[in-house]
Amino acid sequence: MTKFIQTSVNGAILEVTLDRPRANAIDAETSRGLGRVFAKFRDDPDLRVAIFTSAGERFFSAGWDLHAAAEGEEFEADYGEGGFGGFTELPERNKPVICAVNGSAVGGGFEIALASELIVAAEHAEFFLPETSLGLIPDAGVLRLPRILPPVVANEVLYAGRRLGAAEAMHWGLVNAVAPAGQLLQVARDLAERVVSAAPLAVEAAMSATRETGQLALREAFGLLRSGGLEAYERMLVSEDAQEGPRAFTEKRDPVWKGR
């Protein structure tokens, strides 16, 4: 872990805060440190969901550290096993990450948010991708943004640097909630608690199935789901929790999840 990363645990929730003045930009060393944090999160059976946010109110992250680039760090540097930002390409991560966007999510900062499963944004937050004005393209943005936004909106963000404020981002389905001033983390924590209240193996199965079938035709997707080839899905079907849920419902009580 680097000195720019702070973590805390509240029950089954991991909170990760990036605190790297002045704009929470990320160089390769910081990215590798975040990767180690999120790999431990992935592998810890007691942790169910992570909240990723940043210090301050101006920048969630300005993305790739251009000062490091000017000093010789290459665009395709070793960002660690989790990819840029620590979790964007982390293998076998079947636990959700909530990004609590506390300010501007710029370039790679926006791409990090796009890689999360859930996003809450402060009401003053904004999202934009300036890469084409720098002679580059946002690799993850090109791949992920058109799958979320209407094509003409995604194209304007990608090609012309259109900025999306928090309210517009929510309108287009990019964020789950917009938080009033001073309430961002509480909104993120409330959302995390709702995830924790669900059956852990069911959440893992849903994430796995979504990832593996997302680009398939519906018939092919159902075929894969029924094939026995999705390990997390098969584990959920035969779990004790799959029996506990209906039992708790009929007994009019809260389920007690065991994760097995």
Q: Kindly report, residue by residue over 164-214, the tens digit of the pLDDT.
A: 999 999 999 999 999 998 999 999 999 999 999 999 999 999 999 998 998
pLDDT at 2 over 80: no
DSSP code string of 170-236: HHTTS-SEEEPTT-HHHHHHHHHHHHHHS-HHHHHHHHHHHHHHTTS-HHHHHHHHHTT--HHHHHH
The C-alpha R_g of the chain, in whole angstroms, comes to 19
- Catalytic residue set: 111, 131
Spell out the domains of the chain, with CATH numbers in brackets.
5-196 (3.90.226.10), 199-250 (no CATH)
Which residues contact residue 176 at a Cβ distance below 8 angstroms, ignoring those fewer than 6 apart? Answer: 118, 119, 120, 170, 191
228 token code pair: 């026995």
* 3-58 pLDDT tens trace: 899 999 999 999 999 999 989 999 999 999 999 999 999 999 999 999 999 999 99
CA distance 196 to 160: 39
SS3 26: strand
List beta partners, residue 122: 179
SS3 109: helix
Contact 166, 121 (CB under 8 A): yes
The pTM score is 0.93
Q: How many CA atoms lie within 13 A of 79 on its CB side?
A: 23
Backbone angles phi and psi of 211, in degrees to 5: -65, -45
CA distance 15 to 22: 21
**Token match 């966007």: residue?**
101
